[in-house]
Amino acid sequence: METVACNLCGSTRHTALYQMPDRRGYHAGVFTVVECNQCGLGFLNPRPPFADMGKYYPKEYYEEEFAQNRAYHLRRYAREASYLRQIERKPGPKSLLDVGCANGDFPRFMRARGWHVEGVEVSASSQPITDFKVYPQQLPDIPVNQPTYDALTAWAVLEHVHDPMAYFRKASEVTKVGGLFVFQAPNFNSLASRRLFLEDIPRHLYFFSEKTVRRYLEETGFALEKEHFGSDIFVQPSYNWLHYYVQTKVMRRPFTYAELPVARPEFFKRYNLKPGILSTLKYAVAQPLTTLDRALLPALTWIQILRKTYANSTYVAKRLA
Ligand SMILES: [Zn+2]
């Protein structure tokens, strides 16, 4: 494990926020999420060094990621593309670099809309891509050093990298003046990220808010044009928000990872129940607070989107002259 200073402001003063193990259970260990006292950036500290990350990204991780259905993905890509509309409207050829392009489906989706596309993907576990150029390095290391692209996209990438500042700098270097850097990341101002142990730790190393994103952009030659807090690209319900409130506000005790209520699939397994209405009813009776928590989730989600405290946000930044 390595201890790091704040990636955004360089401060070494931070406050521990919570501790949790690898949520997916790929590898043992307990990790601490801290918040920088100076700028508010969230990060894992100490953290596994870059060379050790392989054990947290086994083959199953990629299989889980790509298991979701095609209709879901097409809807998501269309939504992602909508953030690039102001470039699409301009006449002439357009070029896109998709950072963390995985199996390449989003760049292909954009190519079908008339874009010239390239990608960046470090993972060897994803399918080899042969129909367009893919750089196998980390974004800061790709051999492009000129303003080349009309747009850069990074969907759920920046929270995974060891040096986000290097990513913002490189994004600035390779984006044309007036071009866009569009990225999506978990929102550190959300209950899901700060309180409910819903971050994919230790694969998520950094936790951004509108404030810290603005500062990254200002320091690297971008201006934030638009941010959108919502479930349009990735859905992350604030599971167990009611448990958190009851415990911290009513019982006045900290809410820890060990106290998370048992989830329904785990409950079924524990009591040898087959999924179905009767089993779900048994779960509802055994876990009334969880039932109420889930029932009120849609209303909470609506409030979170309005208050910019939803678990995910998308940022659209313009490269300044
Ligand atoms: Zn800081």
pLDDT tens digits in sequence order for the chain, 321 residues long:
999 999 999 999 999 999 999 988 899 999 999 999 999 999 999 999 999 999 999 888 877 666 667 788 889 999 999 999 999 999 999 999 999 998 899 999 999 999 999 999 998 755 689 999 999 999 999 999 999 999 999 999 999 999 999 999 999 999 999 999 999 999 999 999 999 999 999 999 999 999 999 999 999 999 999 999 998 888 999 999 999 999 999 999 999 999 999 888 889 999 999 999 999 999 999 999 999 999 999 999 999 999 999 999 999 999 999
- Ligand 1 centroid to Cα of residue 8, in Å, is 5
Which protein residues have a CB closer than 5 Å to ligand 1 (ion)?
Answer: 6, 8-9, 11, 36, 38-39, 41
Find the helix or strand (DSSP H, E) in which 225 lies. Answer: strand 222-229
- Ligand 1 centroid to Cα of residue 154, in Å, is 22
Q: Work out the burial of residue 31: count CB atoms within 10 Å of its CB; fewer than 13 is exposed, 13-18 middle, 19 or more buried.
A: buried
- Ligand 1 centroid to Cα of residue 67, in Å, is 37
Using alpha carbons, select from 257, 246, 266 the residue that is nearest to residue 196. 257
Q: What's the CA gap between 259 and 188, in Å, rounded? A: 21
- Ligand 1 centroid to Cα of residue 162, in Å, is 15
The identity of residue 295, as a single letter, is A
Structure-token pair, residue 67: 């298991």
- Ligand 1 centroid to Cα of residue 7, in Å, is 7
Structure-token pair, residue 130: 């042969």
Q: What's the CA gap between 318 and 2, in Å, rounded? A: 34
Query: What are the residues facing 30 on neighbouring strands?
Result: 21
Q: Return phi, psi of residue 21, to 5°.
A: -85, 180
- Ligand 1 centroid to Cα of residue 43, in Å, is 10
Q: Work out the burial of residue 155: count CB atoms within 10 Å of its CB; fewer than 13 is exposed, 13-18 middle, 19 or more buried.
A: buried
- Ligand 1 centroid to Cα of residue 217, in Å, is 14
pLDDT tens string 104-117? 999 999 999 999 99
- Ligand 1 centroid to Cα of residue 39, in Å, is 4
